[in-house]
Amino acid sequence: SAVISQKPSRDICQRGTSLTIQCQVDSQVTMMFWYRQQPGQSLTLIATANQGSEATYESGFVIDKFPISRPNLTFSTLTVSNMSPEDSSIYLCSVATGAQEAFFGQGTRLTVV
Amino acid sequence: SQQGEEDPQALSIQEGENATMNCSYKTSINNLQWYRQNSGRGLVHLILIRSNEREKHSGRLRVTLDTSKKSSSLLITASRAADTASYFCATVPGNQFYFGTGTSLTVIP
């Protein structure tokens, strides 16, 4: 199993600003993912964070808007850039070793005003 | 989109009854998994079924998989109020996890 610490747990931000979300795992993991979950909706995969190389983004998500870092096997950040109210959502960090089971942080609840 | 679809979107049952939710997906998969999410929290893994399996049990959970129809079902037997949550299927075509639209289950005491 893996324990994930995600910070901040929530934030209220002004439009046009950026927020960086941190994800720390208690063990080395091969796969790290970032998801967005809008209220009452499912999880949408934003990108796979790759250690030592650029993240792999899903269709509809771009690096300029959601830059991701992954400097090692236990840590990653997601930045939500130039925010607008449409970016208000829950952002979730997830990890997996292989394709067996995904573990999730408690999420970051972002409100953009 | 690689996201699966689940039905029903919402389900309300009495405690002790069984709850069944279905998941349909579009891609080939290595495995399919079910997760639970309590309000405002992260997801918790419930059960995994591999593409070469047809049925799997874990406690009060029973999962079926029909790869020819690209569908799966999750049955929760003898439901409890504590089972109230949202349930998501996740398809794993490679190493990425794609979640379905979810079923919101309410179990009435």
Q: Which residues of B touch A102 (CB under 8 A)?
A: 33, 35, 43, 45, 90, 97
Model pLDDT, residue B1: 62
Task: Flag if B90 and A42 touch (Cβ within 8 Å).
Answer: no
Residue A31 forms contact with B (CB below 8 Å): yes
B96 band by pLDDT with thresholds 50, 70 and 90? confident
Maximum CA extent, chain A? 39
Spell out a b/e string for A3-13, using b for 16 or more CB atoms within 10 Å of the CB, else e: ebebeeeeeeb
B84 band by pLDDT with thresholds 50, 70 and 90? very high
Give the closest of A42, A106, A107 to B3, CB-based.
A42
pLDDT digits (tens, 9 = 90+) for B35-64: 999 987 789 999 999 999 999 999 999 999
CA distance B21 to chain A (A): 15
> In this model, does residue A98 exceed pLDDT 80?
no
